Amino acid sequence: MKNKLEKLRADFLQELGQVKNSEYLRELELKYLSRKGELSLIMGELKDLSVDLRREVGELANKIKVELQTRFEEVSRQLAEGSIKKELIDVTLPGETLADGHLSPITLVQNELEDLFNSLGFMILDGPELESDYYNFTALNMPPTHPARDMQDTFYLDHKNKEGQYDLVMRTQTSPVQIRSMQKYGAPLKAIIPGRCFRCEATDARHEHTFYQVEGIMIDKNINFSHLKSLLEIVGQRLFGAGTKLRMRPKFFPFVEPGNNGEYTCFLCQGKGCRVCKYTGWLEIVGAGLIHPDVLRAGGIDPEVYSGLAFGFGLNRLAMLKYNISDVRLFNSGDLKFLEQF
Ligand code: PHE
């Protein structure tokens, strides 16, 4: 019991030494000195001791009680007088500055395209990343077993329809939103659709399983190839400078007819040929074409009345070219050394 008392004394004095405000002092009083405090508890045990011991320990307990109370009152008085430094918060001290975040280069290019197309009267739309096989392929003229499906290695979800076919995919392109937006808004329609896409790629410096595209569609009466050409020219000049030229070469995409690959003069060598353009002078950046009549029909639009154009930019590709980024895998790496440069 003597030990208990000594320990209580030491604890109390130690805590008392840290008192900086009256709330804390009051807490100490309750914990140690009040009627139900620790000191009273120990003193309550005195009655169980032998008479001799009781006298000895009782004396010690009383001595400690007096000492603790005196020290308590001293501190209490000092606190009231202000001779103990109260806890101070200096509101004029400068705060901790939080580092600003950085927009990813993909977002920067996306913002630039959104600004441009907004100024041309295009809506900016969105679509689901988890897509049905129907919207991602079938409605775009790629029914099951169509060989063009091989152009896009696909992540299917482990989910089958009533016929036993896998019917949900991580979208391989933003093109399914062409159909969705036609169904929702009808014609005429002008929209771009930026978004994330997925393909089951073996990754390397130019291929990534998760990447971004910006789809564009424009549907109205008498939309023709010259509209497509001028739109793509405007984009090239906006992103890569006024002197940028466009060349369009035929390419097969099942959902456009005719279809083509849009290529821009290499911004680095101005068409002379260099490492970036693989010495061709041209950079392949956008798939495009006039929307196939069946695709318009799938979207509920009459191809006898309306025609349309569609294009799809690879956003990672655009950002790589614009900011001279050599490896597409950097975008998903989460590496701050990379991101903080933008
Ligand atoms: N969706 C095509 C792709 O991912 C690009 C494209 C879009 C082509 C629109 C034509 C029209 O390769």
Per residue of the chain (342 residues), give pLDDT as tens.
Answer: 888 888 988 998 888 888 888 888 888 888 888 888 888 888 888 888 888 888 888 888 889 888 888 888 888 888 888 777 666 778 888 888 888 888 999 999 999 999 999 999 999 999 999 999 999 999 999 998 898 888 888 999 999 999 998 899 999 999 999 999 999 999 999 999 999 999 998 888 888 999 999 999 999 999 999 999 999 999 999 988 898 999 999 999 999 999 999 999 988 888 898 877 889 999 889 999 999 999 999 999 999 999 999 999 999 999 998 898 989 999 999 898 998 898
* 76 and 142 both lie in a single domain: no
Q: pTM, whole model, 2 decimals?
A: 0.72
Q: Is the CB of 313 under 6 A from ligand 1?
A: no
* 73 and 159 both lie in a single domain: no
* 156 and 39 both lie in a single domain: no
* Torsion on CA atoms 153, 159, 160, 165, rounded to nearest 10: 10
**Backbone CA torsion sign across 189, 192, 195, 200:** positive
Q: Is the CB of 287 under 6 A from ligand 1?
A: yes
Kindly write down the DSSP assignment for every residue of 44-79, as one continuous string. Answer: HGGGGS-HHHHHHHHHHHHHHHHHHHHHHHHHHHHH
Kindly write down the DSSP assignment for every residue of 202-254, as one continuous string. Answer: --BTTB-SEEEEEEEEEEETT--HHHHHHHHHHHHHHHH-TT--EEEEE---T
Residue 85 is predicted with a pLDDT of 67
Does 187 reside within a domain? yes
205 vs 328: CA distance, rounded Å: 5
Ligand 1 atom 12: residue of nearest CA: 287
* 192 and 335 both lie in a single domain: yes
Ligand 1 atom closest to Cα of 172? 4
- β-partners of residue 176 are none
- CA 211 – ligand 1 centroid, Å: 14
Does residue 171 contact residue 131 with C-beta atoms inside 8 Å?
A: yes
**ω into residue 144 within 30 of 0, thus cis?**
no
Does 87 reside within a domain? no
- CA 303 – ligand 1 centroid, Å: 20
Residue 293 is predicted with a pLDDT of 98
Q: Is the CB of 310 under 6 A from ligand 1?
A: yes
CB atoms within 10 A of CB 320: 22
* 109 and 77 both lie in a single domain: no
- CA 159 – ligand 1 centroid, Å: 26
* 201 and 299 both lie in a single domain: yes
Does 175 reside within a domain? yes
Distances (CA, A) of 86 to 31, 54, 89: 21, 42, 10
Number of domains in the chain: 2
Does 68 reside within a domain? yes
Closest to 197 (Cα-Cα) out of 158, 239, 155, 236: 155
pLDDT in tens, 213-267: 999 999 999 999 999 999 999 999 998 889 899 999 999 999 999 999 999 998 8
**ω into residue 188 within 30 of 0, thus cis?**
yes
pLDDT in tens, 256-313: 999 999 999 988 888 898 877 889 999 889 999 999 999 999 999 999 999 999 999 9
Ligand 1 atom closest to Cα of 213? 4
Q: Is the CB of 141 under 6 A from ligand 1?
A: no
Ligand 1 atom 3: residue of nearest CA: 173
Does 95 reside within a domain? no
Q: Which of 48, 81, 114 marks a domain boundary? A: 81
Mutate to test the pocket of ligand 1, among 192, 255, 295 (most ligand atoms within 8 A of CB): 255
* 189 and 64 both lie in a single domain: no
Does 66 reside within a domain? yes
162 vs 147: CA distance, rounded Å: 23
* 144 and 291 both lie in a single domain: yes
Rg (CA), the chain: 38
Q: Is the CB of 176 under 6 A from ligand 1?
A: no
AA letter at 113: L
CB atoms within 10 A of CB 106: 20
* 63 and 131 both lie in a single domain: no
AA letter at 166: Y
3-state helix, strand, coil in the chain (%, to 5): 45, 20, 40
Q: What domain range includes position 7?
A: 2-81
Closest to 7 (Cα-Cα) out of 61, 56, 69, 70: 61
Does 284 reside within a domain? yes
- CA 175 – ligand 1 centroid, Å: 6
Residue 133 is predicted with a pLDDT of 95
Residue 312 is predicted with a pLDDT of 98
Does 171 reside within a domain? yes
Kindly write down the DSSP assignment for every residue of 154-170, as one continuous string. Answer: --B-S-B-TTS-B-EEE
* 286 and 229 both lie in a single domain: yes
Q: Which CATH number covers residue 262? A: 3.30.930.10
* 75 and 126 both lie in a single domain: no
* 135 and 52 both lie in a single domain: no
